[in-house]
Structures are given as C-alpha cells and as structure tokens.
Amino acid sequence: MVRNSERRSSKYQTLESPIRFVIDEARRCIQCNEPNCVSGCPYGVSIPTILSFVSAGDLEKARSLLGDPRLLDLNRACLSEHPCEKSCTLAKKGKPIAIHQIELILLRKDKKV
C-alpha cells in the first residue's frame, strides 16, 4: 500500500492542474536582464518579479502584485491583445510565456472562482 506522502513526490503534485500550469509556465521564464515583457506592457507591470514568485510557488505574493485595480482594466483591455506576450523574448522562438493566462488564473483564484 502506497502512503499519501509517498505518492506526493513533489509538493506541486498536490496542487490543482491550473496552478501546476502557472508554476510550470513561470519556470520557463529566463528572467531577462532587460525584460521586453515589461517594456511591452502598457502598465509596466513587473512581470518577471511576478513570475519569479509564481515559479517559487509563492502564489499569494505574486497575486498581491496583481492587486492593483489597474490590472483588472489591463486584463479586460488585453483579452485579445497580449502585448506583454508579443514582446516576450521567448516569442522569437515561437513560445512566449503565457503571461496573460497566468494573470487570469491568479486573479480568478483570488476571487475564489
């Protein structure tokens, strides 16, 4: 018989799938010295910092950085246009960080939806 603690070799295995997604996705970020995602964001959101907290599993801290109400407007305004993702350095390789989706999942989680 396998114990629960043995079944969970990683703490992330206990997390819901969307949360695992945001952590895995944030871990793809290469933390650029000159982050194009920030310069591409109309609000200059500190995306690498948020991704750093997410990749470390500190979703509460990451979520707190999304607490500015301007971001709610940002998410509404960027439903179809994701300038941060288009600017992401990894977009040149065809797979930018899914910044917008990460933000939405974090915000949805904050609303307990």
Alpha helices, DSSP H only, in the chain? 4-7, 17-26, 36-40, 47-55, 59-65, 69-77, 83-87, 99-110
Distance of CA 110 to the CA centre of its chain: 13
Question: Of 40 and 63, which has the nearer Cβ to ligand SF4?
Answer: 40
CB of 97 to ligand SF4, least distance (A): 4
Question: Of 52 and 64, which has the nearer Cβ to ligand SF4?
Answer: 52
8 A C-beta contact, residue 21 and residue 59: no
Which residues does 31 contact at the CB level (< 8 Å), separation at least 6?
Answer: 48, 51, 52
Assess 83 for contact with ligand SF4 (CB under 6 A). no
Q: Which two tokens stand for residue 13?
A: 């295995």
Question: Of 63 and 83, which has the nearer Cβ to ligand SF4?
Answer: 83
CB of 25 to ligand SF4, least distance (A): 10
Q: Which two tokens stand for residue 105?
A: 């999942």
Region 9-68 residues binding ligand SF4, contact defined as CB under 6 A? 29-32, 35-37, 47-48, 51
- Pick one of 49, 52, 89, 101: the residue that binds ligand SF4 (CB under 6 A): 89
Binding site residues, ligand SF4, CB under 6 A: 29-32, 35-37, 47-48, 51, 88-90, 97, 99
